[in-house]
Amino acid sequence: MDKLLRNLMIGLLALVILTPLGLLASGTAFGEWGTDEIKDKLGFVPQGVEKLSSLWNAPLPDYSVPGIDPNIGYIIAAVLGVVICGGVMYLAGKKYIRD
C-alpha cells in the first residue's frame, strides 16, 4: 500500500485511541443541550424541543455503549465511526469516481 496512506491511517488510529481525552470536558456544546439540561437551566423545556426530542432514538446516544466503561465505549464509537464513514465514502467513491 501507498506509504502516505499507511501513515495517515496510523495517525487516524492514534487519534481514535486518544478520543477518551474528549470526555474530560464534561459540559455540553452551546445549543446542544438535552431536555433535562434545559430544564435545569430554565426551569421548563421549550415545547418545540419537547416534541422533537422524541422524533428519533439513537442506538448509541452520546457515544456510549450500555454496560461498558465510558472510555472504552467512546473508543468503540470512534472505531464504528471510522469504519462506517470510511466504508461509505470508499464504496461510494469506488462506484461513482472513474478516471
Mask for 14-43, x = binds other proteins (CB under 8 A): -xx-xx-xxxxxxxxxxxx-----x--xx-
Q: Binders of other proteins among 71-90, rule CB under 8 A?
A: 74, 77-78, 80-90
Size of the site for other proteins (CB under 8 A): 61
Options 40, 47, 54, 68; binder of other proteins; rule CB under 8 A: 47
Which residue, among 23, 6, 5, 21, has the nearest Cα to 62 in the 3D structure? 23
Q: 74 exposed, middle or buried (CB, 10 Å; 0-12, 13-18, 19+)? A: buried
CA 20 to chain CA centroid, nearest Å: 12
What is the Cα–Cα distance from 72 to 66, expressed in whole angstroms?
A: 11
Give me the residues that bind other proteins (CB under 8 A), please.
2, 4-5, 7-9, 12, 15-16, 18-19, 21-32, 38, 41-42, 44, 46-49, 52, 55-63, 74, 77-78, 80-90, 93-94, 96-99
